[in-house]
């Protein structure tokens, strides 16, 4: 028989059976602590959480063991179906603060009072990969913001790229099926470099503009804190008088835009699968709160009609040089989730969640999204009551006559579950009622009459222009950025085994830029490219410097990580001075050594490194410094990981600061002197940027 006895110390209780000890040791004084007593989900105290109920010592487990059944049942259902797209995500809480009232253009409550803060939850994500994929593939990044306003929840569900692959939601399942793992082999994961995606893309000229963005450095951001966000679609803002203004939403990061080098992104996948997630979490935990400003592009019907493209086409932008942004507020993320599953995984975004003063347009991609998201969240979270989960619940009162359903967490009172009704007490109404004054009113057609016409499966005429804005994007990039785009096309298409696909894709690129098409064709070993017919002749659009990352990078160390390579004998004063200077620049210094244990410095003191050389490769940092004694340099010159550490930093176009003794290691790594390789006194000034003019000397690009 199983018995219970006190341990020899009298402080713990242990359960034993004939087979030996089977119960963990538990403090005896915890047995009667009601606040810490283990219970079932029904609140029933559990006496034994180690052994199932059996018929006899070695008999079968009994079906009546409700503790076992509940525990296993819950475990079996701990994982919910992951999102079909945007499965891998990272989230944070924060607030939106308005700079100035916008009551002249919208009645939305969160835009009425300067200085007022609205709680938000933001989720960033990759699109193609599953929940277990990595953070740094070439991919679009989701940028979804849930505003908990006083009028209800508003979900601004966008991406880090302002356009999309398709114009009509009808094509969304095809896009996702094509870019996801191939149906017969279930690979590749989180990658577009395969047959089915490029077969589809080459047959869909409307995707060309988005492909230019996806092949650019925009698709490999340095950090979630350093990427832009866009609402993508044209929406409406509506004021109290019912006047409508078209709007496009932009998020601008305070730290500036920065991306990775392709080789760097590949190596980060091996070095740290959670690179972006860790970067976001640690920045918030350290009080370095990520911040964006909200910019609005505001325009009317007349302006929209004057453009050579359709503002309802999600594959088009309005360049900022033509329509500047009006900066109206800031977004600050200042709190990490308490529980990843309960918040980041269960948060449910839906573009249909809008508040009075914000409304939709007839963008056919947006119209499809309004249906799709609600249906998806119900399927994924298993109940029509997913809005009752704390992360999804509005922070203002929510009252209606919707009842029951799976996982109903509210307990409605009263007899009335319908409306209208006359079941209220004397002088009262029987539940909530509609209000035409404060309620949401859908914007009516500007001409004052309903839109009508034949029932057609067709797109507006200007939607047929698939190449003008792709040309605009290409012409707006620096020569370095253009080389990255051409090289990305070569890399991706080199992974395609279908012979007809690369020439077809290059034929589409001929409509963007002949030189681009030639570079891609040459990189793939194809003959002279032939132009595919365009459904509508492209028009000339002026370049937009705002579309270039390199032309808009901030030369700053704020929010950046700097690796400092040290060894025994390194100059203690130099290390201290550099760390102090980096802290003043609001950068994060990170000491790297051959071992985590203490490193003895020149003054006899010892310092513990933050990371080991093999586990902290230079691709994890924005800039690096190397402080070594002659003996330390002589040792690291023979260490392959140290040589590779420096080679990668140089190859990834980063600033490299060094003292005199470290020069031997730089020489071994093949580092050539340029503006980005400096002594320690000049390092801080040099470290706030990448050195793209170095790239042609060290890497062959298309």
Adjacent-strand bridge partners of 122: 92, 145
Please state, in angstroms and rounded to a whole number, the distance separating the CA atoms of residues 304 and 301.
Answer: 5
Catalytic residue among 93, 153, 159, 353: 159
Residue 326 tokens read as 């009006």
Q: What is the largest CA-CA distance in the chain?
A: 92
What is d(CA 157, CA 135) in angstroms, rounded to the nearest whole number?
20
- Cα distance between residue 448 and residue 309, in whole Å: 24
Number of other residues whose CB lies within 10 A of the CB of residue 525 = 9
Q: Which of 660, 654, 628, 611 is nearest to 271 (CA)?
A: 611
- CA separation for the pair 506, 198 (Å, rounded): 11
Contacts of 34-41 with CB under 8 Å at 24 or more apart are 40/66, 40/67, 40/70, 41/70, 41/74
User: Which segments of 369-478 are extended strands (E)?
Assistant: none
Angle CA 580–586–592, to nearest 5: 60
Q: How far is CA 369 from CA 349, 374, 382, 456, in A?
A: 11, 9, 20, 20
The Cα 290–Cα 275 span in angstroms is: 16
Q: Which residue has the tokens 């580092």?
A: 671
Q: Is 159 one of the annotated active-site residues of the chain?
A: yes
Phi-psi region of 407 (alpha: psi -120 to 50; beta: other; left: phi over 0): left
Q: Which residues fall within 8 angstroms of residue 189, CB to CB, at 6 or more apart?
A: 129, 130, 133, 181
374 sits in which H/E element: helix 364-381
Could you say which of 86, 233, 561, 652 is catalytic? 86
Residues 6 or more apart whose Cβ sits within 8 Å of residue 182: 188, 194, 195, 196
**Catalytically annotated residues:** 86, 159
């Amino acid at each position: 028989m199983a018995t219970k006895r006190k341990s020899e110390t009298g402080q713990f209780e242990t359960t034993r059976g004939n087979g030996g000890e089977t119960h963990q040791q538990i403090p005896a004084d915890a047995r009667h602590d009601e606040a810490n007593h283990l219970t079932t989900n029904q609140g029933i105290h559990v006496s034994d959480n180690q052994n199932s109920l059996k018929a006899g010592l070695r008999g079968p487990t009994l079906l009546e063991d409700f503790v076992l059944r509940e525990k296993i049942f819950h475990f079996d259902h701990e994982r919910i179906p992951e999102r079909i797209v945007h499965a891998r995500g990272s989230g944070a809480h924060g607030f939106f603060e308005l700079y100035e009232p916008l009551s002249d253009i919208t009645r939305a409550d969160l835009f009425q009072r300067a200085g007022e803060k609205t709680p938000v939850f933001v989720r960033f994500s990759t699109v193609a990969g599953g929940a277990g994929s990595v953070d740094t593939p070439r991919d679009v990044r989701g940028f979804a913001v849930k505003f908990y306003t006083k009028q209800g929840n508003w979900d601004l569900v966008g991406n880090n790229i302002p356009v999309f692959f398709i114009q009509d939601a009808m094509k969304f399942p095809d896009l996702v099926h094509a870019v996801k793992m191939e149906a017969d082999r279930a690979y590749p994961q989180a990658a577009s470099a395969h047959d089915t995606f490029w077969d589809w893309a080459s047959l869909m000229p409307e995707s060309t503009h988005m492909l230019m963005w996806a092949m650019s450095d925009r698709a490999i951001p340095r950090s979630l804190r350093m990427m832009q966000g866009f609402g993508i679609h044209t929406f409406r803002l509506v004021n109290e008088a019912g006047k409508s203004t078209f709007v496009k939403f932009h998020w601008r990061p305070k730290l500036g835009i920065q991306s990775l080098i392709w080789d760097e992104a590949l190596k980060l996948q091996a070095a740290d699968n959670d690179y972006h997630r860790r970067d976001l979490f640690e920045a918030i935990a350290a009080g370095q709160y990520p911040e964006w400003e909200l910019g609005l592009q505001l325009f009317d019907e007349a302006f929209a009609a004057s453009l050579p493209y359709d503002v309802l086409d999600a594959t088009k932008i309005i360049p900022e040089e033509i329509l500047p942004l009006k900066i109206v507020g800031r977004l600050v993320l200042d709190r990490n989730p308490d529980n990843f599953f309960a918040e980041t995984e269960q948060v449910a975004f839906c573009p249909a969640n809008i508040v009075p003063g914000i409304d939709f347009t007839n963008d056919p991609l947006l119209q499809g999204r309004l249906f799709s998201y609600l249906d998806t969240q119900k399927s994924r979270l298993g109940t029509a009551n997913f809005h009752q989960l704390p992360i999804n619940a509005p922070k203002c009162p929510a009252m209606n006559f919707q009842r029951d359903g799976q996982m109903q967490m509210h307990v409605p009172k009263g007899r009335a579950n319908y409306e209208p009704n006359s079941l209220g007490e004397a002088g009262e109404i029987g539940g909530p009622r509609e209000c035409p004054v404060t309620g949401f009113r859908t914007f009516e057609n500007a001409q004052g009459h309903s839109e009508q016409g034949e029932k057609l499966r067709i797109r507006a005429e200007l939607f047929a222009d698939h190449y003008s804005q792709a040309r605009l994007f290409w012409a707006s990039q620096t020569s370095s950025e253009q080389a990255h785009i051409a090289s990305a096309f070569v890399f991706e298409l080199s992974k395609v085994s279908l012979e007809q696909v690369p020439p077809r894709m290059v034929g589409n690129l001929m409509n963007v830029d002949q030189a681009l098409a030639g570079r891609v064709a040459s990189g793939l070993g194809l003959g002279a490219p032939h132009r595919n017919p365009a459904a509508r002749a492209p028009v000339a659009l002026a370049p937009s410097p705002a579309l270039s990352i390199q032309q808009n990078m901030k030369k700053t160390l704020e929010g950046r990580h700097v690796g400092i390579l040290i060894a025994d004998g390194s100059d203690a004063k130099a290390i201290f001075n550099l760390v102090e200077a980096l802290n003043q620049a609001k950068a994060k210094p990170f000491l790297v050594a051959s071992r985590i244990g203490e490193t003895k410095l020149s003054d006899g003191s010892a310092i513990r490194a933050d990371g080991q050389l093999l586990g902290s490769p230079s691709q994890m940092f924005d800039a690096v410094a190397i402080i070594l004694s002659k003996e330390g340099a002589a040792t690291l010159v023979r260490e392959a990981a140290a040589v590779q550490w420096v080679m990668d930093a140089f190859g990834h176009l980063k600033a490299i600061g060094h003292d005199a003794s470290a020069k031997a290691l730089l020489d071994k790594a093949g580092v050539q002197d340029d503006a980005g390789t400096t002594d320690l006194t000049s390092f801080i000034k040099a470290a706030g940027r990448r050195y793209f003019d170095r790239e042609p000397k060290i890497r062959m690009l298309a």
